[in-house]
Structure 1
Amino acid sequence: MRSRTRAGLGAVAGGVAVVLLSATASAAPGPGAPGVGDPYYPGAGNGGYDVAHYDLRLTYQPATDLLSGTTTISAKTTQELSSFNLDFGLKVNSVRVNNASAKFANDPKDPSELVVTPSKALAKNQAITVVVNYADTPSKVVIDGFTGWKKTPDGALAVDEPQIAEWWFPSSDHPTDKATYDVSVEVPDNVSALSNGTLVRKTKQRAGWTRWNWRSTQPQATYLTSLEVGAFEVNQSTTPDGKPFITAYDPALGDSLEAAKASVERTPEINEFLASKFGPYPFEAQGGVVTPGINFSLENQTRPVYGGGNFRSGSNTTLIAHENAHQWFGDSVALGKWSDIWLNEGFASYAEYLWSEHEGEGTVDELAEYTYQSYAADDPFWQVLPADPGAANQFDGAVYDRGALTLQALRKAVGDDKFFEILKTWVTTKKGGTGVIPEFIALSEKISGKPLHDLFQTWLYTKGKPAVSPNGAAPQAFKAQALVQPKSFPQIKANHQSLAANSGR
């Protein structure tokens, strides 16, 4: 979500094909590329290897903000390597590659690039185990002018997009390199440590401390891997279909606490509805965390995190629908490059319409029409292109709202049956992997049997307000009607603005 570039720099995927740059084959091993060449963040991720699994074993002390421990990375090389990079900004004590000590140093041009030189060169297609031991105070670590780690009065939040891993674990930080995870964090007994997936168990090995052990068994992107430490009220139950359902609420939410619970505790119901539209829920667990420590919400895999301010006006299940729709669009099917952000946000925003209609708060047609009519033709909103908004506008409202209107236009063009077949086929065929916009357009044309170039060109790639609404009628035909404002429209719009404003987004 951040509008920064990472010059010279380089989220998850055992067994999933990834798009990584690899050096041209040569007689002598060379260094892995410092990034995958993403058009918005060229240095994000790293070349030369593919990560299968991350194992984090950490200790965190809220009083001092000291984070220490090891991350063990299981990966396979994709080329011969004399050295390779990890995206990481904390102070490193040691690095070992396949049990042998390795040299390491931060790139002086980019301190979040850790360059690792093994004791001997690595062969192509070689399994490697990389162990990084480190200790630092993440809130003091500044990368590209900001810190993604958020210190709170009783803990901390490792929650952000498009990068957060650099502040708490070394990685290949790009959505095209997915992996599975074990996250084990020891914290004082008076606080909790929340992360993704299933809570395997809590253990104690010394007085005053508890270790929280989490496991994510499905491919997961680095930016969707989160840590929330604080004095949370943690609730554990199961969904009607037997999945672990874990929610957590910061008591500091005050008067908003009950509204937050009235929203997040409905997550299994909302996911059941979304599954009827998109196909089966793709992961092994569900849940949510609500905290006043952030002013935005984020779709962390299996367990979205919600800023407490979203519940000041009461329950907000539309936001729950938005972030959980990302479990299909953005998490299970990750974007292939950050300019494809429409595949995440436009689809989750359209899920808001679907859920609102289900709740009897206006039809999808009415809600889409209200959004279309809410922006005058000369509004700067229409100058941002959802298909390529630019890093500075990656989380602009147009990516969300015009993105959702694009899907409404597609639905009107192909009909309900074909539209939902397209969505379900996309998440089925791409599950656990990544996708790019041209692939979605091609799939839409294949399933519908219709040429759709002009439709997508108009709604995604052309500046200016389309002359015809996504419902297919001339704008003036709707002006006499009482347009329906989505009940959650002001709340969702405020959340989008928070996303864009947070730390330079």
Structure 2
Amino acid sequence: MFATTVGRTLVAAATALALTGAQQPGTPVVGRGDRLYPAVGDPGYDATAYDIWFGYRGPGRPLDAVTRIRARAVTALDGLQLDFTGARVSSVLVDGRPARFARRGERLLVTPWRHIRAREPMSITITHTSDPHGLPGDGGWIRTPDGLAMGNQPESAHRVFPCNDHPSDKARFTFRITAPNGVTVVANGLPRGAPRVTPGGTTWTYRTAHPMATELAQVSIGRSAVLRHTGPEGLPLRDVVAVADRDRLAATLALTAGQISWMEAQVGRYPFETYGILDVDTTTGYELETQTLSLFERRILLAPERLAAPLMVHELSHQWFGDSVTPATWSDLWLNEGHATWYEWRYRAEKKYGPTLEQQARSAYQRDAAIRRLAGPPARPVPATRGQLSIFRDNVYSGGALALYALRQEIGDAAFRRLERAWVTVHRDGNASTADFIALACRIAGRDLSGFLRAWLYGTTTPPMPGHPRWRQGVPPVKHA
């Protein structure tokens, strides 16, 4: 177990040192400069890998934890900052030696024992707790009747573990979770060997094969059943459900393999090593595309197929749009939600679960002007004002999908499909921006579309819809929670 290999003598020494010195009080707290979430992230280093151990002792108790981050300095560093809040930090090591640290708001300020040169690799090991209780606000651990899950979007991973909590800094993850015997643990990626069972508990290890943004991390702890299936071309599928839900969710979960095939026909091969659905018996108010294991409220999975299936495709499509190709900034969120809504519309129409594609687009068009006034255009949303989740509004969902519909009307279906496939291929496992999307669209179409797309993505008014001169505004917007 990783917790025992950190070196308990060093931990004790680091704790004593940390209590006696830290970064100077005047050290500025800086973020990565995101327009919507300027305070998160540190641009001075790039995380390359997280190795996280959690010790779960049961409901109502903080988890013991050790987070080891492998990183590379972008600039020369005498200090660095991690996003972290709401739990106790007992020690910090840099390259195996004690470092001074201090807490300031939602930041952990670390002073390494040595100067770190630009482009130099380093490792940071933080021994801490992770507390699912007593954190007001949105995100982080989700408490369920029999355990925990994660809901870290948009920037709440640092409520669970120390990190560089911005989607532009993707890294590979290893999770090691020790839980009481009889409890099932599942995390992003695939298992690394069989769980290790001892009289004191079972340790489960999972590792991602592809880099992941911190907001997409997922750990499920509970008395669950893991249902294993095979998807297209042998893709391993696993669903995590309450034992009592195995039979009543079977028909809904059986849709996943066909939905993956449908998405692959649209944009190409599924981008990760596994996929599945996590069934949580709680009301979060959202479903979440956590990488390789999408979180769903049980009430959604129990809904009639015509309602549940399009939402399943919405989260599945995020594995391409948002997870594999991750936004460079949170202002690029429409690239996630607009695409997921677009494929939700397409799937609903093709499977005859509801209105046609044109009907869905026209309904969105009628609401779009009012939505822009309320929440901003798709690629320049108004900053969150009612909590961090309030950037998830109709302007990035239906407004983003509407911009894609307009682009398809402008360049034709064949060019649009080439663009979509090129987008997820060129930027696979990376980050991309709205400017990148506009540039690729121009290249695929063979003409300058920048003015056309900027009007749809940044304009304060809704442009005319190509091919539909009679479409008009006028229906009040649907408010997003």
C-alpha distance in 1 between matches for 2:269 and 2:162: 32
| Equivalent residues of 2:145, 2:281 under 8 A apart | no
Contact 1:193 1:230 in 2 (8 A): yes
**Count of aligned positions:** 444
**1:400 and 2:394 matched:** no
Cα distance in 1, alignment partners of residues 397 and 368 from structure 2: 17
Q: Choose from 91, 107, 110 the match for 1:116.
A: 110
Q: CA–CA distance in 2 between the matches of 1:377 and 1:168?
A: 38
* Cross-structure match for 2:236: 244
Counterpart selection for 1:88 from 70, 84, 91: 84
- What's the CA shift for 1:262? 2.9
- Counterparts in 2 of 1:174-213, with a 5 A limit? 174-207=166-199, 209-213=201-205
Cα gap change, 1:303/1:116 in structure 2, threshold over 3 Å: closer, same or farther?
same
Q: Which runs of 5+ in 1 are unaligned?
A: 1-29, 479-492
Cα separation, partners in 2 of 1:79 and 1:378, compared to 1, 3 Å: closer
Q: Residue in 2 aligned with 1:444?
A: 441
Query: Contact 2:65 / 2:130 at 8 angstroms: preserved in 1?
Result: no
Letter in 2 for 1:311: L
In structure 1, the residue matched to 2:64 is 68
1:332 aligns with 2:356: no
Q: Which residue in the other structure is 2:99 paired with?
A: 102
* Counterpart secondary structure, 1:43: coil
CA gap of 1:411–1:77, structure 2 versus 1, over 3 A, is same
Measured on the aligned residues, the alpha-carbon RMSD in Å equals 2.7
User: Aligned partners of 2:119 and 2:178: how far apart in 1?
Assistant: 35
Q: For 1:86, what is the secondary structure of its paired residue?
A: strand
2:40 is equivalent to residue 44 of structure 1: yes
* 2:299 match: secondary structure: helix
What is aligned with 1:429?
Answer: 426
Say whether 1:364 aligns with 2:357: yes
- CA distance in 2: counterparts of 1:370 and 1:146, whole angstroms: 30
Residue from 161, 173, 182 that aligns with 1:169: 161
Separation (CA, whole Å) in 1 of partners of 2:124 and 2:369 = 54
Q: Please list every run of at least 4 consecutive aligned residues from structure 1 whose deviation after the TM superposition is greater than 6 angstroms.
A: 30-33, 379-382
Cα distance, 1:191 vs. partner?
Answer: 2.4
Q: Alpha-carbon deviations, 1:364-393, whole Å to 9, x = none?
A: 2333234334x3865777763111112225
How far apart are residue 33 of structure 1 and its match? 6.8
Deviation at 1:259, TM superposition (A): 6.4
Change (3 A) 1:397 1:424: same
Tell me how far 1:175 sits from its aligned partner: 0.7
With structure 1 as the length reference, what TM-score do the two structures score?
0.82
Task: Report the more deviating stretch, 304-313 or 170-179.
Answer: 304-313
Query: What is the SS of the residue equivalent to 2:71?
Result: strand
> By how many angstroms is 1:204 displaced?
3.0
Structure 2 stretches lacking a partner, 5+ long: 1-25, 385-389
Q: 1:464, CA displacement in angstroms? A: 3.9
Q: 1:474 aligns with which of 459, 470, 473?
A: 470
Greater shift in the superposed pair: 415-424 or 121-130: 121-130
Distance 1:397 1:376 in 2: 9
Distance 1:183 1:434, change over 3 A: same
Cα pair 1:365 1:471 within 8 Å, conserved: no
CA contact (8 A) 1:150 1:158 kept: yes
Query: How many Å apart are 1:96 and its aligned residue?
Result: 0.8
Secondary structure of the residue aligned to 1:149 is strand
**120-129 or 333-342, which deviates more:** 120-129
Distance 1:191 1:473, change over 3 A: farther
Q: Indicate which of 302, 306, 327 corresponds to 2:296.
A: 306
Equivalent pair of 1:368/1:470 in contact (CA under 8 Å): no
* Residue of structure 2 in register with 1:129 after alignment: 123
Quote the Cα distance in structure 1 between the aligned partners of 2:297 and 2:208. 23
**Residue 456 in 1 paired to residue 456 in 2?**
no
Aligned to 2:151: 159
Counting aligned pairs with the same residue, the percent is 32
Cα deviation, residue 239, structure 1: 1.9
Aligned to 2:234, what secondary structure does the other structure show? coil
Match of 1:487 in 2: none
How far did residue 157 of structure 1 move?
Answer: 2.0
The AA in structure 2 aligned to 1:307 is: E
8 A Cα contact 1:382 1:465, kept in partner: no
Instruction: State the 1:76 CA deviation.
Output: 1.2
Cα 1:92–1:346, aligned 2, differ >3 Å: closer, same or farther?
A: same
How far, CA to CA, are the matches of 2:304 and 2:248 in structure 1?
A: 5
How far, CA to CA, are the matches of 1:67 and 1:400 in structure 2? 35
**Which amino acid in structure 2 is aligned with residue 161 of structure 1?**
Q
CA distance in 1, matches of 2:371, 2:231: 44
Give the whole-Å Cα distance in 1 for the aligned partners of 2:52 and 2:148: 17
8 Å contact kept, 1:31–1:81: no
